[in-house]
Amino acid sequence: MKVGMYYTNADVCLEQQPIPIVGESDVLIKVVASGICGSDLMEWYRIKRAPLVLGHELTGEIVETGKNVSQWKRGDRVFATHHVPCDECIYCLSGHTTACVVFQEKNNFAPGGFAEFLRVTGRSVATGILKLPDSMSYETGTFIEPLATVVRAYRTIGLTPGDSVVIYGSGLAGILFVKLAKALGAGTVIVCDINDYRLEMARKAGADCIVSANEDVPAFVAKHNGRLADKAVICTGAIPAAEAALRSVDRGGTVLFFAVAKPGENIAIDFNPYWRNDISFKTCYGAAPLDNRQAMELLRTGAVVVDDMITHRYPLSEIGSAFKTAAEPTGTLKVIVAP
């Protein structure tokens, strides 16, 4: 079968691999659509494991099941996720599911979503596969995982109707934060970015205000919201964005580090004003099975519409071009690869 092999962001090429052998408790999926995630483009994060086949936002059709698999059958249209928790450790039982060691270290995909076929193994067969609603396209289904990370993020910071939100970074994740904030009844939603194209995409997605990162963003937030924001969400690893976000949140508010800087890049923080003003710092990583189910329901009902976010489609044979396009902030938001 054909696979898209990742070496660096600039070197992703088409190669051949054997179709994975299906074990007694495994499932083989014919991949129909796979999205390029922003994390796929984080070279510092990916290159240490290269060469490898990436792709974890995928949908497809089950073409083979092991003899011990009873809940799935040939022909099922499905979404599959690469990591699932153990549901038994102290982190899972206390609600910190994505901090589970099994979740973070056990990959149940072979080889990855940028391939013609994908084998799903282990716990992911039971808890990491969802049957797509008949009304949902394969392309829409590729948004389940990225939207699920946003679902988890807003639950983590306790977003409530009427809360004002400022979002730093309007790539795919930032736009999903806008769409879900509006769906959940948020108040004023302000988006900051350095790229005019993505700011315009944020406006079309429902942002009440957009602002260039070259401006005094905290002052802009205070002016257009009447005060600083209840929630500040950081969707970029840029240090200046994080520093501005820390100055954009009101008393009693929360700063969410959804994205972080590269290892070794640090932010100097004087905690005194945050301590006095009851401001919280939160982080959020990944999505658990519950988050995926909730995201799928948001997509199924149309509460969050994502098809307008797809800007490019590529066949697997053009995987290198797909990655180059995805890395370009102007004119690009979501790139779908169709094996």
pLDDT at residue 114 tops 90: yes
* Neighbour-count burial of 194, counting CB atoms closer than 10 A to its CB (0-12 exposed, 13-18 middle, 19+ buried): middle
Dump pLDDT digits (tens) for 183-225.
Answer: 999 999 999 999 999 999 999 999 999 999 999 999 999 999 9
The fold adopted by the segment(s) 2-143+306-338 is Quinone Oxidoreductase; Chain A, domain 1 (3.90.180)
The 3-state DSSP class for residue 27 equals: strand
% of the chain beyond a pLDDT of 90: 89
CB-based contacts of 122, cutoff 8 Å, min separation 6: 25, 84, 106, 108
> In 3D, which of 28, 38, 36 has the Cα closest to residue 74?
28
Looking at residue 82, its pLDDT comes to 87
pLDDT at residue 167 tops 90: yes
Looking at residue 310, its pLDDT comes to 97
Number of helices and strands (H, E) in the chain? 13, 17
Name the pLDDT band for 48 (thresholds 50, 70, 90).
confident
CB-based contacts of 173, cutoff 8 Å, min separation 6: 38, 146, 149, 150, 235, 258, 259
Dump pLDDT digits (tens) for 4-30.
Answer: 999 999 999 999 999 999 999 999 999
Name the pLDDT band for 45 (thresholds 50, 70, 90).
confident
Please name the residue ranges forming H helices in the chain.
43-46, 90-93, 101-105, 124-127, 138-141, 144-157, 172-183, 196-205, 217-225, 239-246, 272-276, 289-301, 319-326
Residue 210 β-bridge partners: 191
pLDDT at residue 47 tops 90: no
pLDDT at residue 80 tops 90: yes
Joined together, the tokens standing for residue 2 give: 């054909």
The 3-state DSSP class for residue 7 equals: strand
Looking at residue 41, its pLDDT comes to 84
| Distance of alpha carbon 104 from alpha carbon 118, whole angstroms | 20
The 3-state DSSP class for residue 60 equals: strand
Joined together, the tokens standing for residue 13 give: 């090429």
> In 3D, which of 175, 152, 167 has the Cα closest to residue 230?
167
| Distance of alpha carbon 215 from alpha carbon 184, whole angstroms | 28
pTM score, whole prediction: 0.95
| Domain spanning 150-283: CATH superfamily | NAD(P)-binding Rossmann-like Domain (3.40.50.720)
Looking at residue 329, its pLDDT comes to 87
Looking at residue 264, its pLDDT comes to 87
Name the pLDDT band for 42 (thresholds 50, 70, 90).
confident
- Domain extents for the chain? 2-143+306-338, 150-283
Answer whether the bond into residue 218 is a cis peptide, omega within 30°.
no
Mean pLDDT over the full length of the chain: 95
The 3-state DSSP class for residue 118 equals: strand
Dump pLDDT digits (tens) for 215-273.
Answer: 999 999 999 999 999 999 999 999 999 999 999 999 999 999 999 988 889 988 999 98
State CA 140 to chain mean position distance.
14
Dump pLDDT digits (tens) for 118-149.
Answer: 999 999 999 999 999 999 999 999 999 999 99
Looking at residue 38, its pLDDT comes to 87
